[in-house]
Every structure is written in structure tokens, then in C-alpha cells.
A and B are shown apart, each in its own frame.
Chain A
């Protein structure tokens, strides 16, 4: 079996792009499949040209072509992200990480109890600023990992700031702030868990993407 040339492989990448497959991670798998099947098809029938073999192989993907593969891959990625997020979230309510959650809860409770009631808004604003600063710092730090080829697997770290945004929404939608230390402690602990889970999932996915598709990142 004669392997396809580098130029033919590039032609296959171009073919997937023309068929609206914009994500590099999907293209890689499709190109290998097309190439292997074309090689086998030409071996079985040497009179077929590369283009004829390609059209024959593409027909195997049905009337929707690559669209179904991309759509279902997209759904699978969403599902995987949800699974990872649920696992990360739950991990902060089980040993050993629950210790961290309890510490954040106790800190928020202690600080709200210590300060006079009208100072609770300062606590909430401080939590918001802390989340916001962390979110901005993290997003800036992660810029170096931005892929130069779009990946379905990879997400921009924009969600990292979302817990800070939730606190901001609470601040602007309430004329009077929460003064009950239990409520502040529960909200603080939950926001911490959300933030920590989002960061953890983002890092897991980013590491996986860098490991599987290093050529898609500006690392080298």
C-alpha cells in the first residue's frame, strides 16, 4: 500500500475545511480516516485516481457528509465538559477538598460576624473584587495557551470570571445587602467552589488539548 504524500494529506485538510469542518481536532481524525481508506481503496482498485477514491470514501459519510460527525462531536464535548465540571464541583464537598470549602465558609462567617452589620456590603464587594482580580489575572496568564488553530475541545478561559460576575449581579440588584453571616458564608463557599471547579476543568481540558494537539498551540 503506497502511503499518501504530504501534499495529498494537505489536500485532505483543505477538503475537510471546504466541507465546513473548522476545528483542527476533528480535521485530524477525519484526515487520517480518509487517507487510510483512500490508500486501501487505491490498493484494491489501482485504476482509481486520488480524487475518485476521495469522492468514493466521502460518500461513506452519508448525505450529511461530515456535518453529523461535527455535530455529534460537539455534543460529546459538551457532555464531557459537564461531566468534568460535576466531578470537580462534587470533589469540593468530599475529602480532602471539603476542608478547603469549610475554611472558606468559616472565614466568610467569621468576617461577617466580626464586622458591624452595615459593613457586610464591604465583605461582598471584597469577594467580588477578589474573584474579578483573579479572573483577569488568570485570563491574561492563559493567553499564551491560545491555540492558533481552532479546537472543538478547547474553550477560551472567559468563564473564569463568572463567579465574580454573579456577585456583581447580587450587588447591583439588591438595595440592601445580606447581613446574615450564615448566608454570606454559604454564598462565599459556593462561589469559591464554582470558581475553583471552573479553573480546574479549564486546566484539565487545556492540558489535554496541549498534550494531544501541540501543533495547534503557539508553543513551538
Chain B
């Protein structure tokens, strides 16, 4: 059984919001595949972690859903609401600040935060 890395799990909301801000709409499997592609297979987001996160964001009014028929099955697409777009900008700024502070503490060689 695969498990989502705790650090990845902690940042899952930000990852989902950021991916949705770059893509008009995405479905669950597409998000897991995209993360795997972007990290060359290093990071795996499990279904057990992804769907609760998507449902939570939907309940908070950050995401809206549409359903489309794809062949012989229905597919649920997620896209950002206006509130979700604002939250993405906020989360990205928070994450940047976090990395800057971490770099000041850890001083990891070769890691430059722009």
C-alpha cells in the first residue's frame, strides 16, 4: 500500500489549488498523475489523501464541480471559484515566506529562493 509523504500531505491543499489555477479544470486522477509527472515519479498522492482534500476545499467554497459524461461513465471536474483563486495567491505567498525562513535556518547548499 502506498502512503502519501507527510510533507506532501501537509501541502496538498496548496498543490491542488496551484494545479487548478494553472489548468482550467481537473479531475481527481488527473491531479495525481500531474503531480507524479512534475516530480518525475518522486511524489505520489494517494486517493485516500486527495479526495478528502478536494471535498474539503469544495465545502469551503474554494472549488466548484461540474459533471461530464465521458464515454460510458460520468466524470467529476473541479475548478477554482473566485474565493479559491484568492486563496491560491495567499497560500503561495505563505509557502514562499515559509521556504525563505527555512532557508535562513537550514541554509541548504544550492537552494536559492527567488
**Chain A interface (Cβ < 8 Å from any Cβ of B):** 3-6, 9, 28-29, 31-33, 35-37, 40, 59-64, 68-69, 72-73, 75-77, 79-80, 83, 212-213
Beta-carbon contact of B47 and A61 below 8 Å = yes
Q: Is B81 an interface residue (CB 8 A)?
A: no
Beta-carbon contact of B73 and A35 below 8 Å = yes
Distance, CA A79 to CA B60, complexed state (A): 7
Beta-carbon contact of A76 and B56 below 8 Å = yes
Beta-carbon contact of A69 and B58 below 8 Å = no
A-B pairs with beta carbons under 8 A, tally: 85
B1 partner, pick from A6, A28, A59, A212, beta carbons under 8 A: A59
Distance, CA A208 to CA B46, complexed state (A): 28
Q: Is B75 an interface residue (CB 8 A)?
A: yes
Beta-carbon contact of A76 and B75 below 8 Å = no
Distance, CA A79 to CA B27, complexed state (A): 22
Q: Is B74 an interface residue (CB 8 A)?
A: yes
Beta-carbon contact of B58 and A76 below 8 Å = yes
Not counting A29-B51, A36-B27, A40-B29, a sample of 14 additional A-B residue pairs whose C-beta atoms are within 8 angstroms of each other reads: A3-B71, A3-B72, A31-B73, A33-B29, A37-B29, A59-B2, A60-B48, A61-B47, A69-B51, A72-B51, A72-B55, A76-B55, A79-B56, A212-B65
Distance, CA A5 to CA B33, complexed state (A): 23
Q: Is B105 an interface residue (CB 8 A)?
A: no
Distance, CA A9 to CA B74, complexed state (A): 10
B71's nearest neighbour on chain A, judged by CB, is: A3
Interface size on B, residues (CB 8 A): 28
B72: min CB distance to chain A, Å: 5
- A-side contacts of B76, CB under 8 Å: 28-29, 32
- Residue of B2, B27, B55 with most chain A CB atoms under a 10 A cut-off: B55
Distance, CA A76 to CA B27, complexed state (A): 18
Beta-carbon contact of A32 and B27 below 8 Å = yes
Beta-carbon contact of B1 and A4 below 8 Å = no
Q: Which 7 A-B pairs have the closest CB atoms?
A: A72-B52, A76-B59, A76-B55, A79-B59, A80-B59, A62-B48, A36-B29
Of the A-B pairs whose beta carbons lie under 8 Å apart in the complex, a sample of 29, sorted by A's number, is A3-B72, A4-B72, A4-B73, A5-B72, A9-B72, A28-B76, A29-B28, A29-B51, A32-B28, A32-B29, A32-B74, A33-B29, A33-B47, A40-B29, A40-B33, A60-B2, A61-B46, A62-B48, A63-B1, A69-B51, A72-B51, A72-B56, A73-B55, A76-B52, A77-B59, A79-B56, A80-B61, A83-B59, A212-B66
Interface string of B55-89 (1 = CB under 8 A from A): 11011110001110011111110000000000000
- B-side contacts of A9, CB under 8 Å: 72-73
- B-side contacts of A4, CB under 8 Å: 72-73
A69: min CB distance to chain B, Å: 5
B30's nearest neighbour on chain A, judged by CB, is: A36
B3's nearest neighbour on chain A, judged by CB, is: A62
Beta-carbon contact of B51 and A73 below 8 Å = yes
B2's nearest neighbour on chain A, judged by CB, is: A60
Distance, CA A195 to CA B71, complexed state (A): 42
A60 partner, pick from B1, B59, B75, beta carbons under 8 A: B1
